[in-house]
Structure 1
């Protein structure tokens, strides 16, 4: 590539075995501070519920805390699962963040629940059919943020006229179609849902309608990275990542012996779980850089959002350093809001 694309990060606030949520969030602060020093463009946090190993259930609260501990890196939701919420409340939350941290806040929007159906219906008390109203909810939210409330006498305060940039998230043709129709930037979740990447990003670019928000299409493609000092160490870490992913998704909270885990990994179901990580750059800095350059062409991406993978926090932090050096990131290039 003639010029490296912006690199961003998605942080799931992983809770490692024996660790508390508070420790996980403290590590997220460390990661954000290090990412800012290295020149990563932004970090997004995704809304998840009832997941024992993920602490990012309240992205707006987490963003506010990390915003106070950093200076210029963009922070956002990747994303808020909008059907779980009133658009008005999200406008207030992210309007507040935009006032606290001007020109640093992004708002990625998804329509999946981010949890299981039992939690959705009984704990979140949300209608399982709420996702059907996602396009209307996006437009309502955008109107609040632009100071154009559709309800007479009602404004989002804070929120109105903050113009927090919206990003449509997706892993299928639905999000690509909506982002193209509304003239919004599009972020594809290829780090865990690789199947429709090329079809969706191609459709989005070919059918994009310019808007007051965005004159040209803008694609963010998510991809996993396991970077280490040697290819052998990266391969070792990747094997560990695979095992933990299968354990979490197939074990469903039950204890599995290593023999049981081996059997699941070799099964069709296990291979399907591992294939979710199909787009993963593995190896030394040079090897990962080469992979990402090829992936960016495959995705026709304007920006890459990296999901750093490793078997420990130390692995992840080292991988972030290796990637930044290989990509030649420069903190001086962090100004502005890519995709606005």
Structure 2
């Protein structure tokens, strides 16, 4: 057992708002609000929703609208994007949208930003129209977005109203050393997508922590890692629940997208050895088991990474089992 005290680590939730087989899109959204209310009561720090488009399995495309829906139905948990894919949007629009959210729900809104399209290339073209992204566009767009939130543009012809003067924390999300370097240069908190892209986790954290430049909003680095957690009363129960996640991952690598499938007793015959190897590599930072099992493994992960916060995503078919998983995990960071 690691000597890490998990009570010193913040725990948060990432929701992709999955559609489950046999249920409606509306039900997926209702489940998101219900889960947010549940984890708020359990003491989680924040509830983030990610932007994805053109996916049969997810309904998080209108991310800002869902954030408002969740914020209205909760009272204390921070609500934010994990993240808004900035190349899909004009920085002014993002500033206005999050300025509106923060005006309605002051002090509770986070703005996490990503560079990926959150979809396939054809859909990205439909979102971005004729814009061709260069390597400098993302850093420049972040700078423009930050400017809209300051009070320094009062004399500018274009202003974000609401948005101007609001202290909405910005987080940079990524799965590579590029994003780590950028977050360090801009003095922003950094969240690594280790739940599906584990390869560069330690290189990215090393770059971020060792090259961080203090900013007006952040005097020191703040690192976060996203992980998959499937918790249940027993290891065997958790392993069975995890087969829904494995089926989702199989759909990603085979490009057969479906709503989240019910668990199966065994993945034998569902995937082949090559697919299994690819999926287990992609989901390397997935913690499956009882409270004792995940506590040990998560403690080791935090000790190795030295992150200040864990953002947890749990692809579990049954909504009550999903809520129970977060409940078991909350016992880990409270005990």
Residues 202-242 of structure 1 show CA distances to partners (whole Å, capped at 9, x for unaligned) of: 11000000010100000011111010001111112223421
Query: Which residue is 1:63 aligned to?
Result: 67
2:249 to 245, 256, 263: 245
Q: 1:262 Cα deviation (Å)?
A: 5.4
SS of the aligned residue for 1:265 comes to coil
SS of the aligned residue for 1:195 comes to coil
User: Taking structure 1 as reference, are residues 309 and 252 closer, same or farther at Cα in structure 2, changes over 3 Å only?
Assistant: closer
Query: Which residue is 2:326 aligned to?
Result: 320
Mapping 1:72-87, distance limit 5 Å: 72-87=76-91
Instruction: Tell me if 1:42 matches 2:21.
Output: no
Instruction: Tell me if 1:98 matches 2:102.
Output: yes
Query: Which residue is 2:315 aligned to?
Result: 309
Residues 108-131 of structure 1 show CA distances to partners (whole Å, capped at 9, x for unaligned) of: 000100011111113552535256
Residues 230-272 of structure 1 show CA distances to partners (whole Å, capped at 9, x for unaligned) of: 11111122234213320343152489xx9xx856732434421
Query: Which residue is 1:23 aligned to?
Result: 27
User: Taking structure 1 as reference, are residues 196 and 241 closer, same or farther at Cα in structure 2, changes over 3 Å only?
Assistant: same
Mapping 1:148-163, distance limit 5 Å: 148-149=152-153, 152-163=156-167
Query: Which residue is 2:11 aligned to?
Result: 7
Q: 1:135 Cα deviation (Å)?
A: 0.3
Instruction: Indicate conservation of the 8 Å contact 1:228/1:234, yes or no.
Output: yes
Q: 1:140 Cα deviation (Å)?
A: 0.6
| Separation in structure 2 between the aligned mates of residue 326 and residue 201 of structure 1, nearest angstrom | 24
Instruction: Tell me if 1:202 matches 2:206.
Output: yes
| Separation in structure 2 between the aligned mates of residue 126 and residue 110 of structure 1, nearest angstrom | 20
Instruction: Indicate conservation of the 8 Å contact 2:57/2:257, yes or no.
Output: no
Instruction: Tell me if 1:179 matches 2:179.
Output: no
Instruction: Indicate conservation of the 8 Å contact 1:227/1:288, yes or no.
Output: yes
Instruction: Indicate conservation of the 8 Å contact 1:147/1:155, yes or no.
Output: no
Query: Which residue is 1:283 aligned to?
Result: 289
Structure 2 gap ranges (5+)? none
Residues 34-75 of structure 1 show CA distances to partners (whole Å, capped at 9, x for unaligned) of: 011000000100000000111111111111111111001000
SS of the aligned residue for 1:316 comes to helix
Of 242-251 and 305-314, deviating more is 242-251
User: Taking structure 1 as reference, are residues 150 and 299 closer, same or farther at Cα in structure 2, changes over 3 Å only?
Assistant: farther
2:115 to 108, 111, 125: 111
| Separation in structure 1 between the aligned mates of residue 252 and residue 91 of structure 2, nearest angstrom | 32
How many pairs were matched up?
325
User: Taking structure 1 as reference, are residues 126 and 264 closer, same or farther at Cα in structure 2, changes over 3 Å only?
Assistant: farther
Query: Which residue is 2:150 aligned to?
Result: 146
Instruction: Indicate conservation of the 8 Å contact 2:50/2:63, yes or no.
Output: yes
Structure 1 gap ranges (5+)? 330-340
Instruction: Indicate conservation of the 8 Å contact 1:46/1:59, yes or no.
Output: yes
User: Taking structure 1 as reference, are residues 174 and 48 closer, same or farther at Cα in structure 2, changes over 3 Å only?
Assistant: same
Return the TM-score normalized by structure 2: 0.91
